[in-house]
């Protein structure tokens, strides 16, 4: 119990307290402490990546072994991961070589761009769904959205003043309300974790 | 007379023969830092033909050579902040500056001047963070007060959060339909407090899923988050008395690439058609890609994030959305643990204080009270609401 519960809580308490103090002190010793902590996070991340990759292989090999109808895609995922790693490690020039760069630019970047460009279609469908005047509030949203959208195109420049007002006052006021809540929520959650009141992240509730 | 008139005149004449002619350079320390920055300012020279830019040189010891550390191509700008990490400054070191006016071909035209020796210094407290320390102190005190109230057994009211009330129903629906529950704990790392808040919700949700004997899928983008969510879900199954039902491949790492992760999760939604999708944590551009795909599969969707820019997308595409702080209140709401509920009340106290202050100051500003515009008042407001 000590190793599983008490020790982690003690480490969280001491490091949490140290990081709070560090946040307010710009002394070089405090900065060095922060930098070394950031390095430790990166080191832990490197070890966790090994566990992540183990999980990746476990999940996909299990799917292949079960002869799942979509196991072909698991095969493709494993092939791509090993292929890219192989080219990066054993290929001429490593990760700076032409093959690795071309594979990255022509496949990975293109696929990423495709996924991102899909977003514009989803925004259109989401806008269609949200701009329905079901009640008074939805109607107010619809009218406001139309004014803002019109004001943003060239022939709607006469609406510039109204658009500016909507964005600077009602919109900012709503966003600030949410942001204040988020700030207080973050502080309270952090204190709860440091004081050991919130420990669900350790697994289990006790 | 000799001391006051002749000596300064002699000094000035001698000074004129030295190549150091020019306006003095003023060096100031940057406050509230670790001694890694200095502000160098100088008087602008008169009209110089072909004058194009200033070159700023520094030497770190009296007998060292001057090394160029920067340039300013805006000749009207006579202030330079020396904080380049390639030529770092450290508290306590002695530095000297030299400014030179140069032409387009970087030929030196005029020596603007040399500085006196100067040492950067560090601060023990960053005064620009006063507002943060005040907020933390108030939350901390309120936290202790409400923890004591909670421990005495007094019941504390917490308002209804529709999204969290719907969790039971959503998990129940997945059980009835014989389908899984998809839980995405955001795409950020553990250093993001929203991820921690999401993991605090994952525990009770996974326990409920285990009790209902259904299946939960938790795809992860960050390997550290993956190891933690794996443990949390495993422990939840153990707590529910169903350790045998936990399968290792329910919680898995997908990819660190943002859109590869989205493609994989969208694929899961299209193929496995989970009955319930929970998107809780930190999201960026992928929020709408995930939520719209889930919407297309007909799943009940509950989202929650503190990313203000992504909230409208979730509100549009999901059945319930936890807005901002509701994400942090979720663990208290779900567990109804008096101690955790007490912490929500502490948040409310500070929020009420901010609200009262805002209303009061707005009224005073509208009534055009002069003291609200005074320097003292603006310093008070700045220290509370931000620097």
pLDDT in tens, B92-123: 899 999 999 999 999 999 999 999 999 999 99
Residues of chain A found within 8 Å of residue B129, distances taken between Cβ atoms: 23-24
CA atoms within 13 A on the CB side of B88: 8
pLDDT tops 80 at residue B372:
no
Q: Does A136 touch chain B (CB under 8 A)?
A: no
Q: Does A118 touch chain B (CB under 8 A)?
A: yes
Residues of chain B found within 8 Å of residue A178, distances taken between Cβ atoms: 308, 311, 323-325
Neighbour-count burial of B151, counting CB atoms closer than 10 A to its CB (0-12 exposed, 13-18 middle, 19+ buried)? exposed
Q: In terms of CA atoms, which chain A residue is nearest residue B314?
A: A126
Residues of chain B found within 8 Å of residue A186, distances taken between Cβ atoms: 193, 306, 328
Inter-chain touch B193–A52, beta carbons under 8 Å: no
Gap from B158 CA to chain A (nearest CA, Å): 15
Inter-chain touch B289–A24, beta carbons under 8 Å: no
Question: What would the two tokens of residue A28 be?
Answer: 């070089």
pLDDT in tens, A70-111: 899 999 999 999 999 999 999 989 899 999 999 999 999 999
Question: What would the two tokens of residue B165 be?
Answer: 């009330």
Q: Does A66 touch chain B (CB under 8 A)?
A: no
The residues with which B70 forms a beta bridge, in sequence order, are B56
Nearest to B262 among A27, A41, A115 (CB): A115
Residues of chain A found within 8 Å of residue B227, distances taken between Cβ atoms: 48, 51-52
pLDDT in tens, B177-206: 999 999 999 999 998 999 999 999 999 999
Q: How many Å apart are CA B333 and CA B326, to the nearest integer?
A: 9
Ranges of H-type helices in chain A? 7-24, 28-65, 71-90, 98-103, 110-130, 136-151, 160-166, 172-194
Residues of chain B found within 8 Å of residue A126, distances taken between Cβ atoms: 288, 292, 313, 316-317
Inter-chain touch A28–B232, beta carbons under 8 Å: no
Q: Which residues contact A15 (CB under 8 A, 6 or more apart)?
A: A37
Mutation to test the B interface, candidates A43, A132, A201, most B Cβ within 10 Å: A201
- The per-residue pLDDT string of chain A (206 residues; one tens digit each, 9 = 90 and over) reads 788 889 999 999 999 999 999 999 999 999 999 999 999 989 988 999 999 999 999 999 999 999 888 899 999 999 999 999 999 999 989 899 999 999 999 999 999 999 999 999 999 888 888 888 888 988 998 999 999 999 999 888 999 999 999 999 999 999 999 999 999 899 899 999 999 988 877 775 55
Gap from A147 CA to chain B (nearest CA, Å): 17
Residues of chain A found within 8 Å of residue B139, distances taken between Cβ atoms: 184, 187-188, 191
Ranges of H-type helices in B51-161? 130-151
Q: Does A61 touch chain B (CB under 8 A)?
A: no
Phi first, then psi: what are they for B83, rounded to 5°? -150, 30
**Is the separation of the CB atoms in B67 and B59 below 8 Å?**
yes
Mutation to test the B interface, candidates A31, A32, A113, A189, most B Cβ within 10 Å: A189
């Amino acid at each position: 119990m000590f190793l599983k519960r008490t020790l982690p809580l003690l480490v969280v308490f001491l490091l949490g307290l140290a990081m709070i103090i560090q946040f307010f002190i710009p002394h070089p010793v405090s900065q060095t402490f922060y930098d070394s902590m950031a390095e430790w996070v990166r080191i832990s991340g490197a070890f966790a990546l090994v566990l992540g990759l183990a999980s990746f292989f476990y999940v996909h090999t299990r799917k292949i072994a079960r002869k799942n109808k979509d196991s072909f895609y698991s095969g493709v995922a494993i092939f791509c991961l090993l292929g890219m790693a192989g080219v990066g490690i054993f290929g001429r020039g490593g990760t700076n070589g032409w093959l690795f760069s071309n594979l990255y630019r022509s496949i990975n970047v293109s696929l990423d761009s495709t996924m991102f460009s899909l977003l514009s279609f989803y925004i259109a469908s989401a806008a269609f769904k949200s701009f329905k005047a079901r009640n008074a509030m939805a109607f107010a949203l619809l009218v406001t959205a139309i004014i803002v959208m019109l004001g943003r195109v060239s022939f709607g420049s006469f609406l510039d003043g109204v658009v500016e007002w909507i964005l600077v006052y009602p919109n900012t006021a709503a966003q600030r309300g949410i942001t204040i809540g988020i700030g207080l929520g973050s502080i309270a959650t952090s204190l709860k974790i440091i004081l050991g009141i919130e420990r669900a992240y350790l697994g289990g509730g006790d | 007379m000799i001391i006051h008139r002749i000596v300064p005149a002699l000094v000035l004449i001698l000074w004129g023969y030295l190549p150091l002619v020019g306006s003095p350079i003023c060096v100031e320390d940057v406050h509230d830092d670790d001694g890694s920055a200095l502000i160098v300012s100088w008087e602008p020279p008169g009209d110089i033909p072909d004058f194009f830019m200033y070159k700023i040189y520094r030497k770190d010891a009296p007998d060292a050579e001057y090394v160029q550390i920067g340039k300013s191509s805006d000749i009207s700008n006579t202030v330079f902040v020396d904080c380049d990490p390639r030529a770092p400054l450290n508290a306590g070191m002695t530095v000297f500056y030299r400014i030179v006016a140069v032409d387009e071909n970087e030929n030196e035209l005029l020596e603007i001047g040399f500085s006196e020796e100067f040492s950067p210094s560090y601060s023990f407290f960053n005064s620009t963070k006063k507002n943060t320390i005040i907020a933390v102190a108030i939350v901390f005190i309120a936290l202790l007060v409400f923890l004591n109230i909670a421990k005495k057994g007094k019941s504390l009211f917490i308002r209804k959060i529709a999204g969290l009330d719907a969790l039971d129903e959503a998990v129940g629906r997945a059980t009835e339909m014989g389908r899984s529950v998809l839980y995405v704990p955001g795409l950020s790392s553990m250093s993001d407090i929203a991820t921690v808040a999401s993991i605090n919700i994952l525990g009770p949700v996974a326990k409920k899923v285990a009790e209902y004997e259904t299946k939960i899928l938790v795809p992860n983008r960050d390997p550290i988050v993956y190891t933690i969510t794996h443990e949390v879900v495993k422990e939840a199954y153990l707590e529910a008395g169903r350790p045998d039902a936990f399968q290792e491949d329910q919680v898995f790492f997908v990819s660190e690439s943002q859109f590869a992760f989205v493609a994989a999760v969208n694929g899961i939604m299209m193929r496995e058609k989970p009955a319930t999708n929970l998107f809780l944590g930190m999201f960026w551009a992928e929020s709408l890609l995930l939520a719209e795909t889930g919407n297309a599969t007909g799943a009940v969707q509950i989202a929650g994030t503190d990313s203000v820019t992504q909230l409208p997308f979730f509100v549009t595409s999901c059945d319930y959305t936890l807005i901002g702080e509701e994400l942090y209140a979720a663990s208290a709401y779900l567990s109804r643990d008096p101690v955790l509920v007490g912490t929500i009340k502490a948040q409310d106290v500070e929020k009420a204080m901010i609200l009262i202050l805002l209303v009061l100051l707005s009224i005073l500003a509208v009534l055009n009270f002069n003291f609200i515009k005074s320097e003292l008042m603006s310093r008070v407001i700045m220290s509370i609401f931000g620097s």
